[in-house]
Amino acid sequence: CSTTPLVFLSTGPTVSESLVRGRAGQNITVPCFYSVKSRQDITSMCWGRDSCPSSKCYRPIIWTDGWKVTEQYNSRYTLKGNLLIGDVSLTIVNAEVADSGIYCCRVEIAGWFNDQMTNHKVVIEKARISTASPHTYTSEQTSAHGSTSESSFTVTRLWPEVSASEAPRTASGPCSSTSDCLDVTSNLQNMSVSLPSEQYPENGLYIGIGLCAVLLTILILALFLT
């Protein structure tokens, strides 16, 4: 019997891909796992920038020996999962837009072309900025509005039919303090009392003219009679 050797040609290891999105300022986790059924399955792995090469990691970020992190090139890139159960997910702390790109997770498994490789496309978007502004009023608008409403309110409440005896009771409503009420009351009393006094000289003038006219008439009649 003759033995015919069989040759199997392999095109290379299979590389899977995934997409991860996040926003700047957040902690972004790029998932990566491998199967661990026993302690013998725990193996070394690495994270690197750009697509996975034929071996190792290009532009490495983190290396582990399967049990712990042995090399870490940037403190913002860390492994927070449990390495002993195959959780080698990469966490980007306080992500930036510049962190966008391709990341390679490579788990080294014994044998030819057995490495588990995953290329992750990470897209970091800018943080949203709220354009809504709170509704505010300036101090000039507030003071102007306040002075206008106060003056109109004062005229409406204080002006109708104020006499000298009723002035204190009428002015007691809208005053902000006792001194304000006294000032308003005194002003109203002065107005109500002084108005008639301003009419006395005019009335006296009319009376004087009338008396003069009567005396002049009597004098003319006396001259005619004599």
Return d(Cα 43, Cα 70) in angstroms, integer: 13
In 3-state terms, what secondary structure has residue 125?
strand
For residue 177, pLDDT over 90 is answered with: no
Residue 151 lies in a domain: no
Name the percent of the chain lying above pLDDT 90. 46
pTM score, whole prediction: 0.52
Residue that the structure tokens 């020996």 belong to? 65
Kindly report the number of other CB atoms within 10 A of residue 212's CB atom: 10
Residue 206 lies in a domain: no
Residue 28 lies in a domain: yes
**What are 35-59's pLDDT values in tens digits?**
999 999 999 999 999 999 999 999 9
Kindly report the number of other CB atoms within 10 A of residue 8's CB atom: 4
Residue 96 lies in a domain: yes
Residue 70 lies in a domain: yes
For residue 118, pLDDT over 80 is answered with: yes
User: Into how many domains does the chain fold?
Assistant: 1
Return d(Cα 201, Cα 183) in angstroms, integer: 29
pLDDT greater at residue 68 or residue 195: 68
Residue 76 lies in a domain: yes
For residue 9, pLDDT over 50 is answered with: no
Q: Which residues pair with 17 in a beta bridge?
A: 119
N-terminal to C-terminal alpha carbon distance within the chain? 191
- As a residue count, the chain comes to 226
When pLDDT is cut at 50, 70 and 90, the band that residue 7 belongs to is: very low
Domain that holds residue 58: 16-125
Residue 11 lies in a domain: no
Residue 41 lies in a domain: yes
When pLDDT is cut at 50, 70 and 90, the band that residue 66 belongs to is: very high
For residue 211, pLDDT over 90 is answered with: no
45-49, 122-126, 192-196, 209-213: least confidently modelled range: 192-196
Kindly report the number of other CB atoms within 10 A of residue 66's CB atom: 19
Return d(Cα 123, Cα 92) in angstroms, integer: 12
Query: Closest Cα to residue 76, out of 92, 99, 88?
Result: 92
At 41, which CATH number?
2.60.40.10
